Structure formats: structure tokens, C-alpha cells
Chain A
Amino acid sequence: MSNVTNFHFKPYNVGRWIIWGAYALVLLIAPLLFSSSLSTTMLSQMGIAIIACLAYNMLLGQGGMLSFGHAVYSGLGSFLTIHTLNMVSNGELQLPVSLMPLVGGLAGLAFAVLLGYVTTKKAGTPFAMITLGIGELVWAMSLMFPEFFGGEGGITGNRVTGKGWFGISFGPQIQLYYLIAVYCFVCTALMFAFTGTPLGRMLNAVRDNPERVEFIGYNTQRVRYIAFILSGFFAGISGGLAALNFEIVTAEVVGAGRSGAYLLFVFLGGATFFFGPIIGAVLMVIAFVLLSELTKAWLLYLGLVFMFMVMFAPGGIASLIMMNVRVAAYGKLRRLWPAYAKLAATALLMLAGAASMIEMVYHLQLNEALGPEMRFLGLTLNTKGVGTWLGATVVLAIGVGLFEWARRRFAQEWNEVQEEIEHLNRRREAL
């Protein structure tokens, strides 16, 4: 063996510094731009959701593991954190509040060590079913042990406890927001760093070609298990932050609904890109807080959007963004604007028709006592009138027809642009 030293030229990665700097800046100034108490609460929840969704995507996007029970780890992290908080409040323990999310993280890690051993015995579809079973197991247990899970009422705590630190008591929401922001930034950075580690690379290989990984001597089950444990740790941190944020933890946090929401929004955001879950997390909070206020039928809309996304854009919003970034990089985005505008206008028309019908049915069912009149998009609709229903049907039909027409035109244009890009690429390679 000769003693060869390799010299690497490693340019300063300016782009990466800009992106991470911008991310930190957004976390820093977001509460200054949106300073109402509602938006501060929402921003805090977004920070928590970002950690949870990124942790989830360590399994789904990077490991190809479709988990239906990830709320178990964030939820149990929440419970351990709130119990620790109460112990500190009672003077049984000394721990600064700012470190409590780590308690949640360690709890998530410990439970992932315990339950992940069984769960990661299988991959693929059986894995999905087993995580569902484990999730149900923990959910059923939460009803059996009211001492720990607090039964129906949940467990409450008070985050203003212990000695303040430079006048930071975490009483005001904005102080907690910055704690969440710090955790969010650090966790995002750590999880991004994980994607570059040998283990992170092995995880991708296990996702893409488990047989070959086995063949070269790695144990795929162990790789999945370790990734599962790490993911449980980050999920637990998000759970701990959630416990501090809401100061109450109910059994719902380990339920199937929460696990389903993680899956839904990570996928909507885009599991194939690292930043996809961040978009998903922001959407999740917006949907849970604003959309659910706006309409009773929000779960129906969510399910439909999800199904359309799976059918037409299986890469999620992140992949849509990256495809357009690619088009823009070749300077061809301007050509697509008119097609996009037509697509958006017809989609809105279609949506208005469908939504007015759905809203009218919901109104008939839930608000019968308020009379047949309801407000929708600034119009007063008579839910018992034949004319209203006919009008909505006509709007919907026209919308569907025009949308299909616009979609075909768009697809044609889009394919042309893609072909031109391919053509340019081939020319560049030939040069």
C-alpha cells in the first residue's frame, strides 16, 4: 500500500450558507411580522410540527418505511415531559424548563428502542400494518392507565416554574416561541446532517434495494431499527415542546388521528425532498387551525386533495416546486404562465361549484335550526331552493369541463417545455 494523500478542493458552499441563514432569519423574524397572539400560537405550533414531520420523514422519505403509528413516540414524549414538568413544579426535581423537550426526546427514544425492535422486524407493507397495530395498542393502553395518561381530562401542567433565567420565564408565548424556534433550527440541522452520514446513506440504500444491502453484508433490519430510534428521538422532542406549548396533554396525542395527520401532511409536503415535510408541517397547522374554523367539511377536502395529490403529483408540493424551479432555471417559466393562470381560474370555478354543494349539505345537516339561508363566498344561498342547487351544479359542470380543457392544454405545453429542456441538456452534454 502506498501512502497516497488525496487533496480535495472543497469550495465554500455559499448556497448552503444562504439557505440555512435564510431559514434562521425566517424563524427569527416571523413572530415580528405576524405579531397577533393567534399567529404567535400558530407559529409555535408550526415549529413543533416541523420537527415532528421531519422526524416522520426520516422513516417515510429516507427509509421507505410507511408508519401509521408515529404519534406514539411524540405523544409519549409529551406525557413524560408533562410529568417531569409537574415533578419540577412540586419541587421533587431540578431541571430548567428549556431542557425539558430533551426529556421528551429521550422518552421517544426509549419507547422507539422498545417498540421499534418489534416494528422494524418487517419492511414494506407489513411494517405499515404493524405500526398501525402498535399505535392501537398504545392508544388502548392510554384508556387503561388513567394514572399516567390522565383519562379523559388529560394531564395539565404549568410551564412557568423553577428559577427564571435572565428574566426568561417562558410565561409569555413569544418566549416559548423562541425556545421552539431554537429547537426547530437545531433539530432541522441535525436531521439534515443525518442524511449525509454513512448511516443515512445506508438507510437510503435499504429503501431502494434491500436485497443488495443484505448481500454486501449489512443487516437491513438493524439499519431500519437505528433510524427508527433516531426518528423516535426527534419525534419525542416535538412532543416535549408540544407539552410545554399547550400545558395540557390528553390521550389524543398518541391516537391514530395524529399519526394519520403526520403521514398525510408529510406526503402532501413532499417526502422525496428534505424540505418537503417543512411545507407539510406549515400546511398542517394552517389546516388544523384555520381551515377547520372556516368549514366543517375540511376533512373531506383534505382527503380529496390528498387523493388527487397521490394520483397526479406523487412527489408532493416539494416536487412541484422543484419541477418549476428546473423550468425557471432554463428560463422557460414565463411561457407557462398563461397556462397556469387558466388552470388556476378553471380549478377555482370547479372548486366553487363543488364546495358550495358540499357546504349546503353540511348546512342542511348541522345548522338546520339556523334556517335555510347560509353565507358562502359572500353570497347568500338558499339551501332548500332548487335554483341554488341547479346553479351550483351548472357552475360545477362548467368548471369541470373548462378545467379538463385547460389541463390538456397545460399538459401539452408542459411536455413541450420538458422536451426542449431535455434537448438543451443533450446539446450541453455533447459540447
Chain B
Amino acid sequence: MESSFFTISMLNGVSYGLLLFMLSSGLTLIFSMMGVLNFAHASFYMLGAYVAFTTAELVGFWPALLVAPLVVGGVGALFEKYCLRRVHKFGHVPELLITFGLSYVLLELVQLVWGRSAVNYRVPAALDGPLFTIVSSSASGLDFVWRQAPAQLCNSVDPSVVVSCTQFPAYRGFMMLVAIFMLVAVWLLLTRTRIGLVIQAALTHPETVEALGHNVPRVFMLVFGGGAALAGLAGVIGGNAFVTEPGMAATVGSIIFVVVVVGGMGSLAGAFLASLLIGVIQTFAVAVDYSLVNLFSYAGWAITPETFGYPVLRLTVSQVAPILPYLFLVLILIFRPRGLLGTREG
């Protein structure tokens, strides 16, 4: 494997994984704090992207980075206050179901406001273009060049020397930066501040916290709003890296559940590990064009379309890439049911 390809794919995988982590961290937070599995979490991500699109049209991308998470967090908090809280007394299943209903409503509302086709939400001009270029030459090895590499570096004069340039987009780097910043901020907030202490205590001893004069329902509302805002933030920076369209919630929706189960329910560190793993595995798989047919022919077996099981043998790794997270989920459940870093069974 070429090392420049490896480096770029690794970085792409890590940045995708970090985006997945931004999504699943909100989900994990809400789940571990309130015991509510928010089925509309990916819808909040979509809402974040759409709100950011509109804000970016009006006032530019940088305000959108702040406005969209606040709007989405507000929507989440209102939903918690007026719908989720009402359902709490019925138990866990209705709590899950009402978020499921919300995912339908949000999808339709987004289509009502922004239409059914993709919107043109683009990367801001300041972050457009490559962050660095890897120039790999068969003569002088690897070379890093910040931003765009000059043209004469990528075209070799000597025909015997093969030179290739691979670029890493600046926006991907920005995504990684935001995700890491968010991770540190959430961690500090939860472990080093008074609010974090109250949140953690409200989870295990709501009555005691209430007796000490804290408003526990409001804490829950803040937690839910905060989780939704994290999803909104992921939407702001994910919406223009990928495509902002009504199907975007469905594409990440089930992956983040896989992340949460694989990492171990309610474990933030587990979610971090699992999202990086899944991000990297999927990014590499998409680029690999080998199938079992190649493997067997390497071993000297001839595989023809008449061979038994040809439709399975023929599949290349890149074709299998979409199901890899789910296969991963199944394997984890068989061999380590509590998840990678989960502490409790069931």
C-alpha cells in the first residue's frame, strides 16, 4: 500500500470517525444521563445542517457555527419540556417512541421548509482547498507541502521518475479540530465544573439533588438541549463536508446507534473508540477494490461465474463497505455483548 494513500485515508477515516463521535457523544450523553434513547438524534443533526445553511446564506458561515447549535439545542430543550417530560411517567418504551415520532415530524418539516432536494450548503471560502499536499516521488520519497503544492513539483521532468500529489482538504482538518475541541470542552464541563457535578448527581440521586435546591427537571432539559446542540454542531460541520439533503439523517442514523452499542451503552470513551474504528474501517474499505475472487486466483484457484457462491465471492471490499459497521455490531454482540468499553451487561 502506498504510504501517501495510507496517510490520507487514515486522516479521512479519523475525521469521519470524529464526526461520528460528535454525533454519538450527544446521544451517549442523553442516554447515560436520562436513560432516554433519542431516536431523533440524527434528525437534530440534519436540522443543524439546514439551519446552518440558511444562516450561512444570510450572515456567513462563522456565525452559523454558533447559531445553528443554539437553535437546535433550543428545539431539543423545548421538545424535552413539552413532550418528553410528559411521557416520562409511562416508562422507557414510550420515551423512545416519542422521539421516533419526532424523527418523522422533523423530516417532514425540513422537507416542508427547505424542499426535497439537496441544498447548496458549501464549505466557506477560507477553508476551501487543500490543507497540505503529499508529494510522493519514486526518486526522492515523500514530501509534505503546506496548502497547494506548486505545479512544477507535481509534474516530473524526468520521465523515469513517477511523481504523484495527494491533497488533504483543509475543511477536514477543521472538522477534526472542532471535534477535538468539543470533546475536551464536554469532558471539562462534566468533570471539572459545578454544573457537571450537579448533572452527574441528578442522574443517580435526583431526590437528593432536588433537596439541595437544584431544579432537576431543568437540569434534564439542559442535558437534552445540550445533546441536541452537539448533534446540531455536527450538522453544521458535517452538512457541507457531505451533502445536506433530507436523506442525511437516515444515512448516519443507524451508524451512530451501531457506534453506541459497539462502544458500550452509555460509555463516552467507548463511543470515541468505536466511532474512530468505524470511521477508519469504512474509509479504508471503500478504497479497496479486491474480492475473494482475487484472493483465490492469487492462491491459484480459478473462479468462474459458474463456481458455487460466485455472487458472494465476486463482491469487492468496497462493495461490502456499507454493511461493515453492522457486521461489526453482530460480531461484537457475539463475542463481547457489553461492547468495547461497556461496564454493564444488558
Q: Is B320 an interface residue (CB 8 A)?
A: yes
Q: Is A66 an interface residue (CB 8 A)?
A: yes
B105 pairs with A144, CB closer than 8 A: no
A residues within 8 A CB of B329? 130, 133, 137
Q: Of all chain A residues, which has the CB nearest B327?
A: A137
Q: Is A262 an interface residue (CB 8 A)?
A: no
B257 pairs with A133, CB closer than 8 A: yes
Q: Is A326 an interface residue (CB 8 A)?
A: no
Range for the number of chain B residues in contact with chain A: 35 or more
Q: Mask for B71-111, Cβ within 8 A of A = 1, else 0?
A: 00000000000010011001011101110111111011100
Q: Of all chain A residues, which has the CB nearest B321?
A: A140
Question: In chain A, residues 307-326, which have Cβ atoms closer than 8 Å to a Cβ of chain B?
Answer: 307, 310-311, 314
B311 pairs with A145, CB closer than 8 A: yes
Q: Which of B138-146, B150-158, B330-338 is near enough to bind chain A?
A: B330-338
B257 pairs with A132, CB closer than 8 A: yes
Among A64, A118, A358, which residue has its beta carbon within 8 angstroms of that of B330? A118
Q: Is B60 an interface residue (CB 8 A)?
A: no
A134 pairs with B330, CB closer than 8 A: yes
B101 pairs with A133, CB closer than 8 A: no
Q: Is B132 an interface residue (CB 8 A)?
A: no
A residues within 8 A CB of B105? 300, 303-304, 307
The CA-CA distance from A277 to B337 in the complex, in Å, is 32
Q: Which of B14-22, B204-212, B258-266, B269-277 is near enough to bind chain A?
A: B258-266
Question: In chain B, residues 114-167, which have Cβ atoms closer than 8 Å to a Cβ of chain A?
Answer: 115
Q: Is B300 an interface residue (CB 8 A)?
A: no
Main secondary structure of the interface of A (DSSP, over half): helix
Q: Mask for A261-304, Cβ within 8 A of B = 1, else 0?
A: 00110010000000000000000000000000000010110111
The CA-CA distance from A126 to B258 in the complex, in Å, is 10
CB distance from B87 to the nearest CB of A (A): 6
The CA-CA distance from A141 to B258 in the complex, in Å, is 17
B112 pairs with A299, CB closer than 8 A: no
The CA-CA distance from A358 to B333 in the complex, in Å, is 44
CB distance from A40 to the nearest CB of B (A): 30
A residues within 8 A CB of B258? 129, 133
B residues within 8 A CB of A314? 87, 90, 94
Among B97, B107, B260, B315, the most chain A Cβ lie within 10 Å of the Cβ of B97
A residues within 8 A CB of B191? none
Q: Is A154 an interface residue (CB 8 A)?
A: no
Q: Is B346 an interface residue (CB 8 A)?
A: yes
Q: Is B254 an interface residue (CB 8 A)?
A: yes
A129 pairs with B257, CB closer than 8 A: yes
Q: Is B322 an interface residue (CB 8 A)?
A: yes
A residues within 8 A CB of B319? 144
Q: Of all chain A residues, which has the CB nearest B324?
A: A140
B100 pairs with A260, CB closer than 8 A: yes
B334 pairs with A118, CB closer than 8 A: yes
A303 pairs with B346, CB closer than 8 A: no
Q: Mask for A109-144, Cβ within 8 A of B = 1, else 0?
A: 000000000100111111011101111110011011
A residues within 8 A CB of B102? 303, 307
The CA-CA distance from A86 to B260 in the complex, in Å, is 42
A residues within 8 A CB of B260? 129
A residues within 8 A CB of B90? 310, 314
A128 pairs with B94, CB closer than 8 A: no
Q: Is B326 an interface residue (CB 8 A)?
A: yes
A300 pairs with B96, CB closer than 8 A: no
Q: Is A256 an interface residue (CB 8 A)?
A: yes
Q: Of all chain A residues, which has the CB nearest B330?
A: A118
Q: Is A365 an interface residue (CB 8 A)?
A: yes
B residues within 8 A CB of A267? 97
B346 pairs with A263, CB closer than 8 A: no
Q: Is A362 an interface residue (CB 8 A)?
A: yes
Q: Is B323 an interface residue (CB 8 A)?
A: yes
A311 pairs with B93, CB closer than 8 A: no
Chain A contacts to B: CB under 8 angstroms: 64, 66, 118, 121-126, 128-130, 132-137, 140-141, 143-145, 147-148, 256, 260, 263-264, 267, 297, 299-300, 302-304, 306-307, 310-311, 314, 358, 361-362, 365
Chain B contacts to A: CB under 8 angstroms: 31, 37, 83, 86-87, 90, 92-94, 96-98, 100-105, 107-109, 112, 115, 250, 254, 257-258, 260-261, 265, 311, 315, 319-320, 322-323, 325-327, 329-330, 333-334, 337, 346
Selected A-B contacts with CB under 8 Å, 14 pairs? A118-B330, A121-B333, A125-B31, A126-B261, A129-B261, A133-B261, A143-B322, A148-B311, A303-B102, A303-B103, A303-B104, A306-B100, A307-B83, A310-B87
